[in-house]
Structure 1
């Protein structure tokens, strides 16, 4: 798992699918984590144009450089599967499925299609700072 997390944080860009303006939701907390660590992150939410004063985009297709982007996913498994399928088409190579966003079908699709998928209880909020260190990224709180 350490190698996957290092790979995730080695990319120059990040996106959060399921970013939310609701402070009680993990989509908000994860998006805020990226911002608080000074990382270049794009929130993906088709219904909310701005979160934490940052402009969001409606989907992966709107990312500036998808193949250079690591994607955190905080959606129900059925939406996660569609997201990972689209990620494959766009050349996205690494995703982080936050707890509860993945199921066996998502994990199998990622594995069968060469997508590194961090899952099985790993959480950006818990494991992210160690991941930044593994990737040699400096950050400030």
Structure 2
């Protein structure tokens, strides 16, 4: 189900573990600064980036499928055309509760597939902006 209700967004933001697909090792990029913000606000951030060994002091995984820890939220910093594959990996894991795509990242078909599999979906929203707005 596509989530846009503030109460449900706040409920989602209560989860602890966020796998960030497309997490960047480069400070100043949103894909670095947003996960750092989450980490600084108590979230366990798991970087997923096949081109980095470590990001934000944590091992970076090559893919979502490689992540050994349980994942609550998959935060997507990849182009819209890659969302479908990420959703497939999230569904396959069996532990993911939410797929969250950042601003400008949308795939209606992938969102419907995730929702049909029982995942909540937040599309085209910045998790940092929503956290600041709802979790004060």
Q: TM-score, normalised by structure 1?
A: 0.80
Q: 1:98 aligns with which of 85, 98, 102?
A: 102
Distance 1:42 1:80 in 2: 18
Flag structure 2 segments of 5+ consecutive residues without an equivalent: none
Which string of whole-angstrom CA distances, capped at 9 and with x for unpartnered residues, describes residues 100-138 of structure 1? Answer: 22222222222222210111x3211211134445xxxxx
Matched, 1:70 2:83: no
Q: Deviations over 1:49-79 (max 9, x none)?
A: 112332211121222333x421111101121
Does the residue aligned with 2:46 lie in a helix, a strand or coil?
A: strand
* 1:46 matches 2:13: no
Structure 2 partner of 1:138: none
Aligned match of 1:21: 25
Question: Where does structure 1 lack aligned partners over 5 or more consecutive residues?
Answer: 134-141
- Cα distance in 2 for partners of 1:29, 1:109 equals 29
2:20 matched to 1:12?
no
Q: Which has the higher helix share?
A: 1
Q: Take 2:11 and 2:125, find their aligned partners in 1: how far apart are those partners?
A: 15
Match of 1:87 in 2: 90
User: Cα RMSD (Å) of the superposition?
Assistant: 1.9
* TM-fit CA distance, 1:22: 2.1
TM-score after normalising by structure 2: 0.83
1:139 counterpart residue number: none
Go from structure 1 to structure 2 and tell me whether the alpha carbon gap of 1:43 and 1:5 turns closer, same or farther (over 3 Å shift): same
